[in-house]
Amino acid sequence: MSAAGLALAAEIRDREAPLAALPPRSDRSEEQQLGAAAIHRACRELRAAFLRAHAAAVYDRLTEGRSARLGLTELAGAAAESFPGLVPDAAQLAEELRHAQADKEGREIDQGIFFREILRLPGAGAHLVDVMRDPTPRAHALLPDFRATGRAELGKVTVERHGDGGHVTFHNDSCLNAEDNDLIAQLEVAVDLVLLDDGIRVGVLRGGPMTHPRYRGRRVFSAGVNLADLHHGRISFTGFLLQRELGYISKMYRGLSTLGRPDTYPAHGVEKPWVAAVETFAIGGGTQLLLVMDKVIAAADSYLSLPAAQEGIVPGAANFRLARLTGGRVARQAVLGGRKIWAGEPDARLLIDEVVDPKAMDRAVDDAVTQLAAPAVLANRRMLRVSEEPVDAFRAYMAEFSLTQAERLYGEDVLDKVGRFSARSGTGPSATDPPKSGTEPGAAAGTRTDTHAGAETGR
């Protein structure tokens, strides 16, 4: 493998050398851009072939025989150092961050190739999926104070202990709780705190009251990925798009890891049931979260949507989970057609357990926490989870998702759509005023189809 790695580094270096003579992508002629694309394609074929032959050995070398527990960013960084040319190095990634999404070289696609080949391996892939459920260092640092006070302010996320419930409230006010890199990182810390605190038996996800003029004082669950941030190149492939699926969402569903000690008793990590309280709307990534919840409560005037396909991207693990709950027809209508599902519709009962008057939400959440805190709930939840979604099936899905999502992130249709969205909303990463819906009377604007301002961009 060492000889093959050196040969790969030399060939990638030689093939990519002409790129240095080209102007930035935004200034290239059509002929120059076609030439650059051909270079990248040839190099990606080399990387994929190398990994198909050596991925297991590469992973074992980077993780010291799987004794080191490296997360996505750390693993990609180690790969760049140990196998030059295999994935973008720190300097190349820093250069990419200087540009809008449409003006990047698309080097995150190379990371997608890398993670696809690692995750498709039952041994290495399962190890990485497990590592990604380790508690974050920040959560460990905050845990003593949180245990003492029952409250943690993380920035855009607040965690509070109320009785048996650990309430995680997101308040990314400037963009209607649209997800960005910071929010994803803070949500993972919040989930860790809920799972690590022995005084909490049930987790609760809820959006906070908004300051946005159109929704002032109203709670909003989630507007999905921040489209403006995507346009400006500020949505990370590893730190956001992969991290959210393998990190905090996986932790909510499967709990924390055993830190690589399968011989511990009990052999499973810490997990707890979760409740979602949906108010106003859950768009894109917001609806994706509902698919791993143990109870979903929705206000009667709220709706759900998964408009990612209309933006050209893959809606996280929704393609993997949605049909299990709704059946294939409704899943296709939601994912492929962007169907908006109102809380009062019959089909909504496939995704929502309880529809309540908005004024009754607090009481409904408290009742759900009481119900799910019962002693036998956790054991039965675990057995349902094991039956519904074997971790190996999730690993295999994430392998394909890694490369597919990375490629879609740089698809011309995606770049065109987020560019037009950003122009309509006034550019700028905090542009968040969603246009009015022209379809449903009284609809709260902000769906993907409405093109929400913070709304999910999808990748």
> What would the pLDDT profile of 87-109 be if each residue is shown by its tens digit?
999 999 999 999 999 999 999 99
Strands 202-207 and 165-170: parallel
Sketch out the chain's domains with CATH numbers: 2-131 (1.20.58.1300), 138-391 (3.90.226.10)
Q: Is the dihedral of CA 191, 229, 406, 61 positive or negative?
A: negative
Give residue 266's pLDDT band: very low, low, confident or very high (50, 70, 90).
Answer: low
Whether the predicted pLDDT of 163 surpasses 70: yes
* 3-state secondary structure at position 169: strand
What number of H helices and E strands is found in the chain?
19, 10
Which of 39-43, 104-108, 194-198, 225-229 bottoms out in mean pLDDT, i.e. has the lowest? 225-229
Whether the predicted pLDDT of 427 surpasses 60: no
CB 239 within 8 A of CB 311: no
Residue whose entry in the numeric block shows the structure tokens 């022995």: 198
Question: pTM here?
Answer: 0.91
Residue 143 is which amino acid? L
Strand partners, 283: 305
Q: How far apart are CA 56 and CA 75, in angstroms?
A: 13
> What would the pLDDT profile of 198-214 be if each residue is shown by its tens digit?
999 999 999 999 998 89
